[in-house]
Amino acid sequence: MSGSATGPSLNKDPRRIADMFDAIAHRYDQLNRMLSVGLDRRWRRRAVEALELPSGARVLDVCTGTADLAMMAARHGSMPRSVVGVDFAAEMLALGRNKLRVTRLDNTILLARGDACRLPCLADSVDAVTMGFGIRNVVDTGAAVAEIFRVLKPGGRLALLEFGEPRLPAVRTVYLWYFRQVLPRIGRMLSKHTEAYAYLPASVSAFLAPEALAGLLRRSGFCEVRLDRLTFGVVCLYSGKKSAKA
């Protein structure tokens, strides 16, 4: 889907999306903290908790970016055996690797360049999959969900975070004003990138409704699918399980 002459392009060609994220990589973490008022850490923690990680689990973080969610998973009390983060934006991964060295997590977490629609993992090879705010950026949502299902072991769990929109009218009005008017301006000012932070609210508005994405997970074979709205529905946490008989 493409934007109009007055709106941002929603073309999700992997090379275009990777280039866009690489262009803002140097400010990405700082802007995440500021624009979410620090709530992004809480959202990621909830996602990792939803995985119910067994001891020594193998975790895959899809669309890992600078590896914040992968790092949260690696620090879980269950002591995961390994965490692999996959992303197609090279500069984001470079920043992530630097963070892993600084925090001494580079022996636990491996970052690799790859596409969510063609994951570089064997079938039935990981105990859990996380994905933070990346599903709306892939070119084929159904293919990405199918790939996640393929690489999960039977009984493995998925936890997926994506932006939503509050349902309470008063909260929704204030949020949409912030998300569509204030956030893009701050993002443009600090990142010096005109398109990326206009793309963000446009891509959220154009993406599947929460109930539709939950339905896609069920149709793709996931059971025990849950949709939890966090922070008044600003963010949705989707969780599910690959049947032990799969």
Q: Mapping DSSP to helix (H, G, I), strand (E, B) and coil, where does residue 237 land?
A: strand
pLDDT of residue 164: 94
User: pTM to 2 decimals?
Assistant: 0.92
**Domain spans of the chain, in order of start:** 14-166+208-242
pLDDT of residue 4: 41
**Residue 193: in which H helix or E strand, if any?**
none
**Residue 128: in which H helix or E strand, if any?**
strand 126-132
Q: How far apart are CA 135 and CA 114, in angstroms?
A: 14
Selection from 66, 5, 1, 20 nearest residue 40 by Cα: 66
Q: How far apart are CA 95 and CA 30, in angstroms?
A: 12
Task: Render the burial of 153-175: b for 16+ CB within 10 Å, e for the rest.
Answer: beebbbbbbbbbbbeeeeeeeeb
Class for the domain spanning 14-166+208-242? alpha beta
pLDDT digits (tens, 9 = 90+) for 185-229: 888 887 878 788 888 889 999 999 999 999 999 999 999 999 999
Identity of residue 195? E
How does pLDDT run along the chain (246 residues), one tens digit per residue?
334 445 677 889 999 999 999 999 988 898 888 888 899 999 999 999 999 999 999 999 999 999 999 999 999 999 999 999 999 999 999 999 999 999 999 999 999 999 999 999 999 999 999 999 999 999 999 999 999 999 999 999 999 999 999 999 999 999 999 988 988 888 888 787 878 888 888 999 999 999 999 999 999 999 999 999 999 999 999 999 999 875
**Residue 195: in which H helix or E strand, if any?**
none
Answer yes or no: are the C-beta atoms of 178 and 199 closer than 8 Å: no
pLDDT of residue 191: 81
Q: How far apart are CA 246 and CA 243, in angstroms?
A: 5
User: In what order do the strands lie in the sheet containing 126-132?
Assistant: 109-113, 82-87, 58-62, 126-132, 152-163, 235-242, 222-230
